[in-house]
Structure 1
Amino acid sequence: MYKLLLATALAAALPVNAEITAIRAGHVITDASQPARGASTILVENGRIIAINDAAAAIPAGATVVDMSGKTVLPGLIDVHVHLGGYSDDPWYAGVAPKRTEEYAVAIGLNNALITARAGFTTVREVGGGQRATIAVRDAINDGLAPGPRIQTAGSTLSIIGGHADNTVGINPEIGDALDKMYPQIGVCTGADGCATAVRLVAKSRADLIKIVATGGVLDDGKTGLEQHFTNAEMKSIVDTAHSLGLKVAAHAHGARGIEAAVNAGVDSIEHGTFADTTDINLMKAKGTYMVATLMAIEGLKEHLGKGFFTPNVEAKGLQTVGIQGKALAAAYKAGVPIALGTDSGVYKHGRNAEELPLMVKLGGMSPKDALYAATMGGAKLMGIETETGSLVAGKSADLIAVDGDPLTDPAAVLKIRYVMVKGKPISLQ
Structure 2
Amino acid sequence: MRSIRLVAAATLALLGGTAIAKTTVVYAGRVITDANKPALGPSTVVVTDDRITSIAPGRGEAPAGAEIVDLGDKTLLPGLIDLHVHLTGDPGGDYRSEAVDPDEWGVVVGAKNARLTLRAGFTTVREAGSAQYTAFALRRGTAEGMIEGPRIVAAGPPLSIIGGHGDVTGFREDVHAVLDQGYTCTGAVECAEKVRKASRAGADVIKITATGGVLSQQGRGLEGHFSNPELVSIADTAHSLGLRVMAHAHGARGIESAAAAGIDSIEHGTFADDAALKVMKAKGSYLVPTLMAFEGIKERLGKGIYTPTVEAKVRMTMNDVGKAVGRAKALGVPVAFGTDAGVFEHGRNAGEFALLVKYGLTPREALASATTVAAKLLSMEDQIGRIAPGLSADMIAVAGDPLNDVTVLEKVDWVMVRGRAAD
Structure 2 counterpart of 1:357: 353
Structure 2 counterpart of 1:312: 308
Structure 1 counterpart of 2:106: 105
8 Å CA contact 1:186–1:202 kept in 2: the answer is: no
TM-score of the superposed pair, with normalisation by structure 2: 0.95
1:82-135 deviations in Å (ceiling 9; x for gaps): 0011101212222122xx212121111111111100000000000100111111
1:372-400 deviations in Å (ceiling 9; x for gaps): 00011111110111100100001110000
> Which residue among 367, 372, 388 is the counterpart of 1:377?
372
Structure 2 counterpart of 1:78: 81
**AA at the equivalent of 1:375:** A
Structure 2 counterpart of 1:92: 95
Distance (Å, rounded) in 2 between the aligned partners of 1:47 and 1:186? 38
Unpaired segments ≥5 residues, structure 1:
1-9
Distance (Å, rounded) in 2 between the aligned partners of 1:179 and 1:397? 39
How does 1:407-422 map onto structure 2 within 5 Å?
407-422=402-417
8 Å CA contact 2:27–2:59 kept in 1: the answer is: no
Q: 1:342 to 1:14 in 2, by over 3 A?
A: farther
**AA at the equivalent of 2:270:** T
SS in 2 for 1:242: helix
Distance (Å, rounded) in 1 between the aligned partners of 2:95 and 2:178? 18
8 Å CA contact 1:92–1:310 kept in 2: the answer is: no
1:300-329 deviations in Å (ceiling 9; x for gaps): 110111122111111011011111121011
Distance (Å, rounded) in 1 between the aligned partners of 2:218 and 2:211? 12
Distance (Å, rounded) in 2 between the aligned partners of 1:197 and 1:15? 48
8 Å CA contact 2:290–2:338 kept in 1: the answer is: yes
Please tell me whether residue 235 in structure 1 is matched to residue 238 in structure 2. Answer: no
Offset, 1:140:
1.5
Structure 1 counterpart of 2:388: 393
Distance (Å, rounded) in 1 between the aligned partners of 2:316 and 2:151? 34
8 Å CA contact 1:33–1:369 kept in 2: the answer is: yes
> Which residue among 233, 255, 259 is the counterpart of 2:255?
259
Distance (Å, rounded) in 2 between the aligned partners of 1:388 and 1:203? 22
Offset, 1:41:
1.0
Q: 1:392 to 1:297 in 2, by over 3 A?
A: same
Please tell me whether residue 156 in structure 1 is matched to residue 157 in structure 2. Answer: yes
Structure 1 counterpart of 2:28: 25
Distance (Å, rounded) in 2 between the aligned partners of 1:15 and 1:150? 28
**AA at the equivalent of 2:341:** S
Please tell me whether residue 115 in structure 1 is matched to residue 111 in structure 2. Answer: no
8 Å CA contact 1:404–1:418 kept in 2: the answer is: yes
Q: 1:14 to 1:89 in 2, by over 3 A?
A: farther
Count of aligned pairs: 412
Distance (Å, rounded) in 1 between the aligned partners of 2:198 and 2:369? 28
TM-score of the superposed pair, with normalisation by structure 1: 0.93
Quote the sequence identity (%): 51
8 Å CA contact 2:33–2:39 kept in 1: the answer is: yes
SS in 2 for 1:131: coil
**AA at the equivalent of 1:240:** D
**AA at the equivalent of 2:386:** S
Distance (Å, rounded) in 1 between the aligned partners of 2:15 and 2:83? 38
Structure 1 counterpart of 2:4: none
Q: 1:282 to 1:349 in 2, by over 3 A?
A: same
1:216-265 deviations in Å (ceiling 9; x for gaps): 00000112210000000111111111011110000100000000000000
Please tell me whether residue 191 in structure 1 is matched to residue 192 in structure 2. Answer: no
8 Å CA contact 1:192–1:237 kept in 2: the answer is: yes
Please tell me whether residue 142 in structure 1 is matched to residue 137 in structure 2. Answer: no
Structure 2 counterpart of 1:269: 265
**AA at the equivalent of 2:293:** A
> Which residue among 203, 207, 210 is the counterpart of 2:206?
210
Distance (Å, rounded) in 2 between the aligned partners of 1:304 and 1:72? 35
1:29-71 deviations in Å (ceiling 9; x for gaps): 0000001000011111111111111123322222111111220
